[in-house]
Amino acid sequence: MSNSFNEKRRQQFITENFGENQINRRNRMEIALREEMVLDDTDKEGLSLLTASFADNAYERLSLRFTYGIPIEDLRTELTGIIEAYERYQKALADYEEIPKVAPLRFRDPGDYERAMQLIGLCYLLHRRDLLPRIAALLDPAYYGKDTFYEELLDYGLPERDTECEELYHVDLYDILLDAMYEETVEERTEAIKKYLLAWYPSFKYVPWHDGHLHINGDEGDYFGYWAFEAGAVAYLCDIDDSGIDHMVYPKDLVAWARQHKTLSEADDGMVPLRCEANQPCPQTGIWSIPANPDARRLFKAGDLMPDFPNSSYGKTIWYWDENQNE
């Protein structure tokens, strides 16, 4: 393992070879799942299972890439594809269960609840508040006004909600993070964050990803990183001093990045980057093209892997957002 990789990786469990192999595996899985989802003989139950796997894979790929050390700027627009994946799953699940107001993440399940809070946290830390209404649209049909932490966390980006709630699905853990939001002194808030981080990993003992790092075998395994993104979001939103926090699951450099980029405008939050390299997930659905190859112009969905043209005389393949979005 190179010293440069040691410096850029964000958790000690990941190795360079494991990370590269697992990112490629996640990319291949995305392609395979997408192909299965469009088969005519896929029944409603099968489609709900496929879309669930697709959404989980999309989130886990971002978490893995963050753990591996990918620059934060490269992750910012990837969040769009994850939200679109959960929207697709919600639609398939509602169709299968014949429950229009079903949510794709179940708050009673600790792992699902945490995933929902992680996604909201990432919206703040990556300055993608434009995605918060879409997350709310996914979860509100089942959980509007039914969980204090969910409402309090959304309130920073959607203040018009103004929903009072005294219920909390997982009191033992998330009540600590609520303390971090509302303790009177800076010191008390910092201590509450530290207490939350200590309790975080043990609280997910029975969630499938728990102890994934113990099952890494060379390039194989299901570990994709352990991250309390919601704790980072609370620290950022409440301006909590995290200089003395060094817990492994705390995304300290992501919080620092969020603070350094506070000037990102709301308009910019929804913008698509002008470029995307080959073999990377498409950041947003639309028409993309390669200026050096006029014939290479096509529609991609968010999350699609951008194809490569390795024999091109123009060097590395880079796709650009096409100003003409008419097919």
pLDDT in tens, 186-229: 899 999 999 999 999 999 999 999 999 999 998 899 999 999 99
Helix (H, G, I), strand (E, B) or coil at 229: helix
- Identify the pLDDT of residue 151: 95
Tokens read off for 93: 């699940």
Q: How big is the chain by its Cα radius of gyration, in Å?
A: 20
Best CA proximity match to 75, nearest among 127, 27, 24: 127
Full set of structural domains in the chain with CATH: 3-269 (1.10.3920.10), 275-321 (no CATH)
Alpha helices in the chain (DSSP H): 3-8, 16-37, 44-68, 72-75, 78-97, 110-125, 132-143, 148-155, 171-182, 186-200, 229-237, 252-260, 266-269
What is the value of pTM for the model shown? 0.82
- Identify the pLDDT of residue 269: 44
Helix (H, G, I), strand (E, B) or coil at 294: strand
- Identify the pLDDT of residue 112: 98
- Identify the pLDDT of residue 105: 97
pLDDT in tens, 42-55: 799 999 999 999 99
- Identify the pLDDT of residue 313: 43
Residues of the chain falling short of pLDDT 50: 265-272, 312-314
